[in-house]
Structure 1
Amino acid sequence: MTDHSVATVCAVIVSYHPEPAALSALVDALAAQVGAVVLVDNASSGDWQMRLGEAISGRGGAVLCQPCNRGLAGAQNIGIDWARAHGYRHVLLLDQDSMPGDGMVAALLAALQTLSASSRVAAVGPRFHDTREERHAPFVRLGFPLNRKLWCQSAGQTIACDFLISSGALMPIAVLDRVGPMDEGLFIDNVDLEWGFRARAQGYTLHGVCAATMHHCLGDARQALPLGLGQIVVHGPARLYYMMRNRIRLYRLSHTPRVWIAQDLPRVLVKLLLFGVLIGPRRRNLRCMFHGLWDGVRGRQGEAPAWLRETARSG
């Protein structure tokens, strides 16, 4: 295999109680674009793993079923380790609710090879489209008080950015060896943000590739705000816990840009207002968010406490 071939790419999908038909469609879409697919499942129920495992292993990949929920970061690291052990030079990270466009991986790999000739590239990512939005999402450069949103103007563009969502990100194994694995202490939220900040602090660059496209769903749902103020991505109470806890952890890391911290602090108050006053379940949301902030101050890592997960589910 040469570094220019998509056969050097192993797709790492993380699943958690997925819709089996959608996950199977994702695997089928990836099969022709990468050298292998490895699915890391976080203790989901059902018998779909065996059926899908046969299809994946027949194409040279694997389904790695975990006995407990290892979180997004832990599962990604397990998949990355599998890819490294089997000789792959690149990994493509994907969530279960993503779908690559035609030729996405080839476009990402071509851009990575071109950009690497003149800079140290940590990762490249596609422009993604949430079907509930009217247009593709922009790439982002950090700024104060507001970030700069950079939109693709042509398919030939690559856009230097300050972070990429993990789903759709293509990374060389050699870079992961130097930057380090995903932070398993974060468990789920801000994993991609932290790794990108760490890579940037080590002198690497991140780039969006306009020729590569992907469909991806952000959040659990969308909800309209009062007074015609638009829509907001809605997350469940447990997810709000991780969002609050993990941002406190990022504040303490030396490689987190100070400008990001400065602009994120007001977002804490905004989220408390939105999900504690305007968007239900308000009481559960507030309880989980405040416990997230407190656990962040205390330095708690890993999975949320069992009582909180049960509270988030049952109220």
Structure 2
Amino acid sequence: MTPPESAATRTLPSASGRSAIAAADICAVIVTYAPEPDLLTQVLDSVQPQVGHVVVFDNGSPGMDVAAGLSGREAVSVVASVSNVGLAAALNRAIERARALGFGHVLLMDQDSVLDAGMVATLAQALATLSQQGPVAAVGPQFVDARSGRPAPFVRMGFPLNDKDYGGPGQTVSCDFLITSGSLIPLTMLDRVGGMDEALFIDNIDMDWCFRAKAAGLALYGVCDAQMHHRIGEQLRASRVKRDGVVVHKPFRLYYIMRNRVLLYPRASTPRVWVAQDLPRLVLKLIGNGLFIAPRWIRLRFMCRGLWDGVRGRSGPMPTP
């Protein structure tokens, strides 16, 4: 049964008579770092038929020649970095390449996101339709966790808890946040909002961009009929508290997760309601990782270091220990 509609969740009208965004005007952007070759092949096989071109930015993968591995693919450009410049900078450089190639829209993707058939066309039609009602910064798919098989909700911020909306067939959901992977963004909106914040390096980059887009009066929508399979974090552990499980990150990622949220707190574009509800989440993450997930001391040390650097306003790549 289709869930009831609300002001934030609604069914799109028929596409008849509405201008569409051609696949030929969409360039997919994929950032890689030590990708699994077989999985990257699946990702490219899923996206190439749906877009006009693919730009792969390899972020200094150690011991791998990603460009050589993709040399036989048509309509794929590889930008190879000699070092890891961070996710934000990699996305910005790849978007610049898409712009130079003459594309008007970019589809941002992670190296482990496998698209369902027709996902991009569904996003493009939704973007064209929704843009007639007001400026739309981005639309994104509903992703299914590749490990648990559970769909992820779209989020609207609230206090003390967020409103999580799973939507239903044929519906779009007005939301406050879209993950990077799967987001379809017009380059004109990147001009208005700005690019990804390279000072953050990795983690919370998509959150910061969405905050800036919303602060600029632009809308974000999740499109329920557009779907992909995706992974968040390195592991997903079962939990009695969280239905969808607990995402487990590597210790070095915890440094950025902790530091960057602190860096976002004072920014004018960051909603105060998010800060209010994120502070308790920060404490819970600190306790949960420091007490219950091995190696506890290492995880705690990385998190505390990130918090300290965040308080000091330190950004960029994590300093070498």
Q: Tell me the TM-score normalized by structure 2.
A: 0.91
Distance change (3 Å), C-alpha of 1:110 and 1:196? same
Question: Which residue type is aligned with residue 257 of structure 1?
Answer: P
* Deviation of 1:222 (Å): 1.8
Question: Could you say what the CA RMSD is over the residues aligned between the two structures, in angstroms?
Answer: 1.3
Equivalent-residue separation in structure 2 for 1:90 and 1:160 (angstroms): 20
Q: How does 1:217-228 map to 2 (within 5 A)?
A: 217-225=231-239, 228=240
Structure 2 SS opposite 1:306:
coil
Residue 94 in 1 paired to residue 109 in 2?
yes
Q: Which residue of 1 aligns with 2:143?
A: 128
The worse-fitting range, judged by mean Cα deviation, of 166-175 and 40-49 is 40-49
Q: Any runs of at least 4 consecutive aligned residues in structure 1 with deviations exceeding 6 A, and if so which? A: none
The worse-fitting range, judged by mean Cα deviation, of 178-187 and 42-51 is 42-51
Preserved CA contact (<8 Å) 1:3 1:89? no
Q: Which residue of 82, 87, 92 corresponds with 1:77?
A: 92
Query: Percent identical across equivalent pairs?
Result: 53
Structure 2 SS opposite 1:117:
coil
Equivalent-residue separation in structure 2 for 1:131 and 1:21 (angstroms): 15
The worse-fitting range, judged by mean Cα deviation, of 199-208 and 230-239 is 230-239
Residue 142 in 1 paired to residue 154 in 2?
no
Q: Which residue of 1 aligns with 2:133?
A: 118
Q: Which residue of 43, 55, 58 corresponds with 1:26?
A: 43
Preserved CA contact (<8 Å) 1:20 1:48? no
Residue 41 in 1 paired to residue 55 in 2?
no
Equivalent-residue separation in structure 1 for 2:72 and 2:158 (angstroms): 46
Q: Tell me the TM-score normalized by structure 1.
A: 0.93
Q: How does 1:151-170 map to 2 (within 5 A)?
A: 151-154=166-169, 156-170=170-184
The worse-fitting range, judged by mean Cα deviation, of 76-85 and 38-47 is 38-47
Residue 290 in 1 paired to residue 304 in 2?
yes
| 1:266-308 CA distance string (max 9 Å, x none) | 011101111000111100011100000000011111111121x
Preserved CA contact (<8 Å) 1:24 1:52? no
Equivalent-residue separation in structure 2 for 1:70 and 1:27 (angstroms): 23
Aligned residues between the structures: 301
Q: Which residue of 2 aligns with 1:299?
A: 313
* Deviation of 1:134 (Å): 4.3
Preserved CA contact (<8 Å) 1:128 1:214? yes
| 1:58-91 CA distance string (max 9 Å, x none) | 32x3110101101111100011000111110000
| 1:98-130 CA distance string (max 9 Å, x none) | 111100100000000000001110000000000
Q: Which residue of 1 aligns with 2:14?
A: none
Equivalent-residue separation in structure 2 for 1:55 and 1:116 (angstroms): 37
* Runs of 5+ unmatched residues, structure 1: 308-315
| 1:244-264 CA distance string (max 9 Å, x none) | 000011101100000000000
